[in-house]
């Protein structure tokens, strides 16, 4: 007899399992691609949002810095103004032994051929105006909050003083007279 031929057929179970394996492999690949695409898109959106919020934060910080810079400049300008005012006040409030230069024009003068005196240009001026014109006096006597006498030494050689009398914070009398100290002042008030 002739030898029998063996049939070479694959078992049906092997063929089905290789198709199933291919299908699983394909679905895994498709899933991996889809997950990768979804994750990439999500990550891109998060980065865009981060960039936008980061830029917004930078703009906010720049605006805040500009406001602070403006406030600093305004405060520096105010400090400069206050320093100038302080220097002026210190100059005005500096106690002077002698009145400022030019004080002689405020002394009443005797009218020729008469015993009468001219009125001083200081009459009627306020305390602040006199302080600006003559300076802060070395001697100041107050009888009441609104009545006071200021005395300036006119020279260092003799005992002559320039007396400025205030009533109600306005000059009422100006005279040049001997100044021997504070003992003579109370009688003038």
Q: pLDDT by residue (tens digit) across 161-171?
A: 888 889 988 98
Ranges of the chain whose pLDDT falls below 70? 1-17, 49-55, 91-98, 110-118, 156, 180-189
CB 97 within 8 A of CB 135: no
Strands, DSSP E only, in the chain? 139-144, 147-153, 160-167, 170-178
CATH number for region 103-188 = 3.30.1450.10
- The burial class, CB within 10 Å (0-12 / 13-18 / 19+), for 123 is middle
Segments making up each domain of the chain, as ranges: 16-93, 103-188
DSSP state of 189: -
pTM above 0.85, yes or no: no
pLDDT of amino acid 16: 62
pLDDT tens for 120-147 read 788 888 988 888 888 888 888 877 777 8
Count of residues making up the chain: 189
Question: Helices 127-134 and 12-93 meet at what angle, rounded to 10?
Answer: 80
């Amino acid at each position: 007899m002739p030898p029998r031929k063996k049939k070479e057929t694959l078992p049906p179970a092997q063929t089905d399992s290789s198709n199933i394996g291919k299908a699983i492999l394909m679905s895994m690949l498709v899933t991996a691609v889809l997950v990768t695409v979804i994750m990439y898109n999500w990550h891109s959106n998060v980065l865009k949002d981060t960039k936008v919020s980061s830029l917004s934060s930078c703009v906010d910080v720049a605006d805040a810095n500009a406001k602070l810079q403006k406030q600093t400049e305004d405060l520096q300008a105010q400090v400069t103004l206050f320093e100038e005012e302080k220097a002026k006040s210190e100059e005005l409030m500096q106690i002077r032994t002698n009145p400022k230069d030019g004080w002689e024009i405020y002394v009443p003068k005797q009218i020729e051929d008469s015993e009468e005196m001219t009125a001083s240009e200081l009459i009627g001026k306020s305390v602040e105006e006199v302080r600006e014109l003559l300076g802060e006096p070395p001697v100041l006597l107050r009888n009441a909050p609104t009545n006071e006498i200021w005395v300036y030494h006119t020279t260092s050689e003799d005992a002559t003083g320039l007396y400025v009398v205030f009533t109600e914070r306005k000059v009422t009398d100006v005279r040049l007279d001997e100044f021997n100290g504070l003992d003579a002042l109370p009688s003038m008030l």
